[in-house]
Amino acid sequence: MDILREKERWLSITTEEQGNIKKFCNPKWPQLKSALSFWVNNALMSNQNIDGHILKMKAQFFANNLHIDDFNQSNASAPSAESLENDRIILQQLLRPYRPEDIWNANETDLFWKMEPSQTLARSKVAEHKK
């Protein structure tokens, strides 16, 4: 593996070079994060289903009650089944000229091995999923 072969290079990165390295940032509104986390924990313990719409509504509710005026929500969502199927077909066409043993999965966690983990709604191990 190239990273291990070049470990001295990676370990010798200076402080100036670390400027572009991603780091965990504290939340902009810790009270909102705490309230939403508490609500999510209670909802999960009572076996309630939480989807993006409900989570956004609760976040806005807590932001309003905490008098947070500059709170904006993102519209992140999972890709549609049709989009995934189209992407799968494109990927299969791109990989067709290669033998299966020549195809490797290069995952971003290998590139950010020193980065702290991001936060997630998962409160227990989720089988076959990355956090």
Domain-embedded: residue 9: no
The Cα 75–Cα 77 span in angstroms is: 6
pTM, full prediction: 0.45
Q: What is the mean pLDDT of residues 77-96?
A: 86
Residue 128, by phi and psi: left (phi above 0), alpha (psi -120 to 50) or beta? left
Q: Does residue 131 register a pLDDT over 50?
A: no
Q: Is residue 18 part of a domain?
A: no
Q: Which range marks the domain in which residue 35 is found?
A: 25-75
Compute the mean pLDDT over every residue in the chain, rounded to the nearest whole number. Answer: 77
Residue 51 lies in a domain: yes
Residue 39 covered by a domain: yes
Residue-wise burial string across 26-56, b where 16 or more C-beta atoms lie within 10 A, e elsewhere: eeebeebeebbeebbeebeeeeeeeeeeebe
| Calpha distance 88→85 (Å, rounded) | 5
pLDDT range class, residue 113, cuts 50, 70, 90? low
Q: How many structural domains comprise the chain? A: 1
Does the structure show a pLDDT above 80 at 120?
no
Q: Which residue type sits at 67? A: H
pLDDT, one tens digit per residue, over 9-50 is 777 776 555 555 555 567 889 999 999 999 998 988 888 888
H or E segment and range at residue 54: helix 52-65
> Using CA atoms, how far apart are residues 122 and 131, in angstroms rounded to an integer?
7
Hey, which of 59-63, 73-77, 84-88, 104-108 has the most confident mean pLDDT?
59-63
pLDDT of residue 77: 65
- Residue 91 falls within a domain, yes or no? no
The fraction of the chain above a pLDDT of 70, given in percent, is 66
Give, as one character, the DSSP assignment of residue 117. Answer: P
Going by C-alpha positions, the residue among 22, 61, 8, 68 that lies closest to residue 39 is 61
Asked whether residue 35 is assigned to any structural domain, the reply reads yes
For residue 79, CA distances in Å to 100, 106, 127 come to 26, 21, 21
pLDDT at 93 over 90: yes
